[in-house]
Structure 1
Amino acid sequence: MRAADIMTTSIISATPDMSVRLAAGTMVFAGLSGLPVIDESGKLLGMITEGDLMHRTEIGTGVTSCTWWRELVESTTGLASQYVKEHGRKVRDVMSTDITTVTEDCPVADIAELFERRRIKRVPVLRDGKVVGVVSRTTLIRALVTMAPDTPVESEFSDEAIREGVLAAMNGRPWALAQRYVIVEDGIVHLWGPVVSADESNALRVAAENVPGVRDVVAHFGLSPGTPSED
């Protein structure tokens, strides 16, 4: 799955000359955490986000009061930049220009990693330098709901096919079970053998649950196949 498959193409944006108040209102009423800032030619100039509006004098959250200790620990440039962020009246004054962008062909997995690493909530999608869409954390979650394939009908898969699928799902994992510890009966996967931790137990269960045709997963950890389990 790529950015083009899930991106929002109805783009709500800001212009650099838009007032901060109007941009904030647009974000609130549209339910967005940020807006791309685009000029008349369609070029992306920056992003204005909730983070850019956290410290504002209008709501008493400014931090650039001229205390002596701030002047000691911060540079004049840093103090001046923060002052503009807190008092600027136009989007161009408060927007972030260090922007992360992706192309339409960017894999969704890479976008999720960008969100995590850069601690951001949305990225503009560019084509030839112009914004053609936006992918947000909400978009990723929506894709999970609307695009996840349904579990195939279990009758399409034999127990042996399911067992091979479970073994393949575990293959190469450091927590994988030996083949003799995986038994499938009527679509129900029975997992046996020693397990070191609850995390390994959960990983084995999830690996089995995601194999097509599996009806249920039953764990008998700490036992060998054929050993009666306690009620």
Structure 2
Amino acid sequence: MLARQIMSAPVVSACPKTTLLRAIELMLETGVSGLPVIDAQGALVGILTEGDLLRRVELNSEVRRPRWIQYLRSPGTLAEEYAHSRGRMVEEVMSSPVTTVAEDASVREIIEVMTRNRIRRVPIVRASAVVGMVSRADIVRALGTALAAEVPHRSRSDAEIRRDILAEFDRAVCIPKAAIDVNVRGGAVELRGCITDERERGAVHAAVENVPGVTGLRDHLTWVEPLSGTVLLSPDDEKDRGAGVDAQPAAENGAPVEGGRP
């Protein structure tokens, strides 16, 4: 999935000489959280985001530092903070320079850029022209589309499902495969064994849930705390115990259960 496939376009932008009030009105009218700032020659010179508007004298939220700390900071830094908290024009408040990505960048690359630079949105450029914007919301929307577009799978045997689960356990080094029994019947997966870190349970569930053909999951994995040796039941077993249900496995009509300890 590429930037041009998920970006928001056309771009809502501001000029350096746009008033801050007008820029705020534009953000509220269009529902965007950041405006690229483009000069008269079409060059991207900055970006105005919600984060740039948090430290304002009008909100009594400007940066305040003890006088002795101010003496230790450069005059340029102090001037920049002053302009950000009091400026009335976009060029005085915007962030610059701007991190951008090309329109053929992958979603993975975009996420890495956002994470590395600690930003929430990034302009998408073609040559030097801004053609779109990708925000965290656009990435979440793309994820939702991908999940909704999953293709229905063909009917699969219990043996195939179990094989794929164990293969995924092998790929995920965080899962203690040797300590887990995987049983599959009619697409429903039953897990028995133990884990030594409760966080492993989430990884095990994710591995099982992503295997095509799985129709359900029953977790009987106990959590054995390594230091104290305390044994805690799984949430499913705790729920069964509270309801007075026997959590031991039972073969229906004497039918064998597919699987066993790998």
Q: TM-score, normalised by structure 1?
A: 0.86
Output the CA distance in 1 between the equivalents of 2:42 and 2:156. 52
Q: Tell me the number of residue pairs that the alignment of Structure 1 and Structure 2 aligns.
A: 226
2:77 maps to 78
Is 2:34 the counterpart of 1:34?
A: yes
Output the CA distance in 1 between the equivalents of 2:12 and 2:93. 18
Residue 11 of structure 2 aligns to a residue whose secondary structure is coil
Alpha-carbon distance change, 5 to 151 in structure 1, aligned in 2, over 3 angstroms = closer
1:103 maps to 102
Is 2:112 the counterpart of 1:117?
A: no
Output the CA distance in 1 between the equivalents of 2:159 and 2:102. 42
Contact 1:151 1:212 in 2 (8 A): no
Please say which structure displays the higher CA radius of gyration: 2
Query: Unpaired runs of 5+ in structure 1?
Result: none
Is 2:112 the counterpart of 1:90?
A: no
Q: TM-score, normalised by structure 2?
A: 0.76
1:140 maps to 139
Q: CA deviation at 1:188?
A: 0.9
Output the CA distance in 2 between the equivalents of 1:64 and 1:172. 51
Contact 1:154 1:187 in 2 (8 A): no
Alpha-carbon distance change, 185 to 64 in structure 1, aligned in 2, over 3 angstroms = closer
Q: 1:139-167, CA deviations, whole angstroms, 9 ceiling, x for partnerless residues?
A: 11111222324555465222222122212
Higher relative contact order (CA 8 A, sep 6+): 1
Amino acid at match of 2:16: P
Matches for 1:145-224 after TM superposition, within 5 Å: 145-150=144-149, 152-153=151-152, 156-174=155-173, 175-178=175-178, 181-222=181-222
Residue 211 of structure 1 aligns to a residue whose secondary structure is coil
2:25 maps to 25
Amino acid at match of 1:12: V
Output the CA distance in 2 between the equivalents of 1:115 and 1:180. 38
More deviation, 69-78/18-27: 69-78
Query: Unpaired runs of 5+ in structure 2?
Result: 224-245, 250-262
Alpha-carbon distance change, 201 to 57 in structure 1, aligned in 2, over 3 angstroms = closer
Residue 218 of structure 2 aligns to a residue whose secondary structure is strand
Contact 2:180 2:193 in 1 (8 A): no
Residue 214 of structure 2 aligns to a residue whose secondary structure is coil
